[in-house]
């Protein structure tokens, strides 16, 4: 908390503070910014101090909390509301004169951009404190990216734009119409891409990075996971992601090196048009699988196809275990005796190394895989809050450094609000920035 150190000549204690003002107070109290404030104050020592560092910083946080799209919008509200000025730490005796000038804010923002490491340190500090209150925080994660358009107008050659650090990004959407036809839509934007790592249980961000819009999603996955493990979470159990993160080598690294079970959607990468492949092509067999990892057996008598029963992952063998559907479900099969060869139903074990893209420690055909994958919508909801509650749908940001700062401020305010609500026994509202404090 950027504690305000000043003598007050006049107090607004008699003014009834609204729930909206209380939201800012919650963020200021929860954010671990004292170290950063001391650094900035040491830089200013011996110079003019027309606008106190802590008050200006708190007012910038107010701009995030109250969804101001520009500094001028924030300045106008500060001039109108004396109680807001006092909450930020400005001298109430100065009235409107206490509000910093546009140039003063520009100077402060330049200092913040130079102090990106301090912003990241606040983000990491908030995660560490949240771990003390939230059981299993960081156990189940999801990863996704979202587009953030630059305020600059995109040119064919990005270097000709007023934001040369941005570039063009493209995303393809496909689906099937009511008549069975396949449709495809390509979305493009000029700007940046925010890559987010989110805890799916509590719907809170635990990692982020900002890149140019053209950066591929999968290139950010392993670095973000490695950073999360190094700084915060030793025991990440699962990582959910959409088809943009589909990769056999990445699945292998996640599980073999980090012990994380990938729950990542898969594209149909079989180019030969086959619907299924033999599990053991080197010998005659009746067990096949499709590109999604569903395992089937064919009856040796009538050639009917049945889905085999998934019986779990054998960690010591690194194999997925499947059982004959007749013995598992009580189905009828004419070739049961021939197939099982006198045993109580055939057992099939499939090594992950058969195809690391298709076979993962939690079988894709299992209810558990689907349940964990459904948790991926948590990152979509965080993305939505970033757009709607933190003003990224309409902004005036150009330049990568400014965009990184703007994203960092939004995320530390998001985590600070969550921490403050938890401490006030309002855990059910911890993901809300706009709901008034009780």
Alpha-carbon torsion, ordered 74, 75, 81, 85, to 10 deg: 90
Whether residue 12 is predicted with pLDDT greater than 60 in this model: the reply is no
Residues 6+ apart with CB under 8 A from 45: none
**CA nearest 345: which of 333, 354, 336, 353?**
336
Whether residue 430 is predicted with pLDDT greater than 80 in this model: the reply is no
Whether residue 19 is predicted with pLDDT greater than 90 in this model: the reply is no
Mean pLDDT value across residues 261-282: 86
Instruction: Give 192 or 4, the one with higher predicted confidence.
Output: 192
Start-to-end Cα distance in the chain: 21
Whether residue 438 is predicted with pLDDT greater than 70 in this model: the reply is no
Confidence at residue 342, expressed as pLDDT on a 0 to 100 scale: 56
Whether residue 128 is predicted with pLDDT greater than 50 in this model: the reply is yes
pLDDT band at 436 (very low <50, low <70, confident <90, very high): low
Confidence at residue 273, expressed as pLDDT on a 0 to 100 scale: 74
pLDDT tens for 164-222 read 889 998 887 777 777 777 777 888 888 899 999 999 999 999 999 999 999 999 999 99
- Do 62 and 85 meet the contact criterion of CB atoms below 8 Å apart? no
Confidence at residue 354, expressed as pLDDT on a 0 to 100 scale: 93
What is the share, in percent, of the chain residues with pLDDT greater than 70? 92
Confidence at residue 349, expressed as pLDDT on a 0 to 100 scale: 92
Whether residue 404 is predicted with pLDDT greater than 70 in this model: the reply is yes
- Do 63 and 395 meet the contact criterion of CB atoms below 8 Å apart? no
**CA nearest 119: which of 422, 418, 413, 421?**
413
Whether residue 415 is predicted with pLDDT greater than 90 in this model: the reply is yes
- Do 99 and 90 meet the contact criterion of CB atoms below 8 Å apart? yes
Confidence at residue 9, expressed as pLDDT on a 0 to 100 scale: 34
Confidence at residue 331, expressed as pLDDT on a 0 to 100 scale: 72
- Do 334 and 301 meet the contact criterion of CB atoms below 8 Å apart? yes
Say if residue 197 is exposed, middle or buried (CB neighbours under 10 Å; 0-12, 13-18, 19+): buried
385, HSE (Cβ side, Cα atoms, 13 Å): 24
């Amino acid at each position: 908390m950027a504690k305000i150190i000043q003598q007050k000549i006049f107090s607004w204690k008699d003014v009834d503070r609204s729930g909206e003002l209380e939201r800012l107070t919650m963020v200021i109290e929860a954010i671990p910014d004292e170290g950063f404030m001391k650094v900035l104050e040491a830089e200013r020592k011996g110079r003019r101090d027309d606008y106190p560092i802590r008050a200006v910083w708190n007012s910038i946080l107010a701009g995030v909390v109250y969804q101001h799209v520009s500094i001028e919008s924030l300045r106008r509200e500060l001039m109108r509301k004396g109680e807001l000025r006092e909450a930020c730490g400005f001298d109430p005796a100065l009235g409107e004169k206490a509000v910093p000038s546009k140039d003063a804010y520009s100077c402060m923002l330049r200092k913040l951009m130079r102090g990106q490491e301090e912003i990241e340190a606040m983000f990491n500090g908030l995660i560490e404190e949240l771990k003390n209150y939230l059981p299993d925080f960081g156990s189940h994660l999801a990863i996704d990216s979202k587009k953030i358009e630059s305020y600059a107008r995109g040119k064919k050659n990005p270097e000709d734009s007023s934001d040369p650090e941005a570039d063009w990004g493209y995303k393809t959407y496909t689906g099937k119409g009511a008549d069975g036809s396949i449709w495809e839509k390509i979305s493009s934007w000029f700007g940046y891409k925010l890559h987010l790592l989110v805890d799916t249980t509590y719907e809170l961000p635990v990692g982020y990075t900002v890149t140019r819009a053209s950066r591929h999603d999968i290139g950010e996955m392993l670095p973000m996971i490695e950073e999360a493990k190094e700084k915060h979470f030793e025991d990440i159990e699962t990582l959910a992601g959409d088809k943009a993160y589909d990769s056999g080598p990445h699945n292998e690294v996640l599980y073999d090196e980090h012990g994380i079970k990938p729950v990542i959607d898969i594209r149909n990468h079989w180019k030969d048009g086959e619907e299924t492949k033999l599990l053991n092509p080197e010998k005659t067999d009746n067990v096949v699988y499709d590109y999604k990892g569903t395992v089937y057996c064919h009856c040796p008598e009538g050639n009917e196809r049945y889905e085999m029963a998934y019986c779990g992952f054998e960690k010591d063998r690194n194999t997925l275990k499947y059982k004959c559907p007749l013995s598992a479900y009580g189905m009828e099969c004419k070739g049961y005796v021939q197939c099982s060869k006198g045993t109580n139903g055939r057992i099939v074990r499939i090594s992950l190394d058969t195809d690391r893209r298709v076979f993962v420690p939690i079988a894709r055909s299992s209810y558990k895989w689907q349940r964990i994958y459904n948790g991926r919508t948590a990152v979509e909801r965080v993305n939505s809050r970033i757009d709607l509650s933190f003003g990224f749908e309409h902004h005036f940001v150009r330049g990568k450094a400014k965009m990184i700062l703007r994203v960092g401020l939004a995320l530390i305010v998001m985590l600070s609000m969550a921490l403050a609500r938890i401490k006030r026994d309002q855990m059910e509202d911890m993901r809300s920035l706009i709901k008034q404090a009780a």
